[in-house]
Amino acid sequence: MKNILTNLNGWQRLFFVVILLIQLPITIFAITEQKEYIDAKFIAAKLKSLNEKESSPYNVEIFNLWEVSQTTYIPLTDLNVEINGIPKVENKNEIESKIADARKSGYTDKEIVEYLNNEWKIDTSKAKKLGVNDTVILNKIIAQSQNIFRFIINVGNNQNKYAVAVEGSGTSEQLRETASNIHNVAEDFYKINFIKNSVFILAISALISLVVYIAGYAFGWVYNGFRK
């Protein structure tokens, strides 16, 4: 290596110094400081395909954070993935009527829940253990709505945030897996994007180096011609 450097002429030595001290640091900086943002719609298409392939019990939607009301979303790390334990009922219309009549008659929601437990054998013990109050239990039984979880994920070295809404009625483990898949899919987008951009930056840098070398060689060739 020492012999190679020693045999370089003046123009080649100048080129080597410029590349090493100027262009190389700029190239490294450009690669490491990438801050490109990927729109949520591109990630959403991938998530939809993944859901269909894996037959997930959850419907997933992902949004750019500025598109939603952030007050209804929590950090992914704070997501309580325990299902709320609301039991599904087959005779919903009849039970809905019973609850409405009981409320009109002045019974408290706690008393109505106890009645459903004892007389209709509707097990609300899991919901109780998870801290769901009686009013929410009754409203959920009436609506029989699916569970909706809203959270925020940080991707791309935690520089970019997305709002995610997951709706469905799977198990806690399935919800954990779904949340993990969403985060992984988004991260893969940024990793692939980082690699593609890095290759492009390196190619541009190499092209600039080639142009600089050719320009320096041509200038030296013309300069030496005048000297002769």
148-169: pLDDT as tens digits:
788 889 998 888 999 998 887 7
9-21: pLDDT as tens digits:
666 677 777 787 8
Q: In this structure, which long-range contacts are made by residues 121-129, counting pairs with CB atoms below 8 Å and at least 24 apart in sequence?
A: 122/87, 122/89, 122/95, 123/87, 124/85, 124/86, 124/87, 125/85, 126/85, 126/87, 127/84, 127/85, 127/86, 127/87, 128/85, 129/85
The stretch 205-214 carries a mean pLDDT of 85
Closest by CA to 98, choosing from 141, 144, 154, is 141
pLDDT at 175 over 70: yes
Query: Would you state the pLDDT for residue 40?
Result: 92
Q: Per-domain residue ranges for the chain? A: 1-80+148-228, 89-143
pLDDT band at 94 (very low <50, low <70, confident <90, very high): confident
Integer CA distances (angstroms), 105 to 111, 118, 128, in order: 12, 19, 24
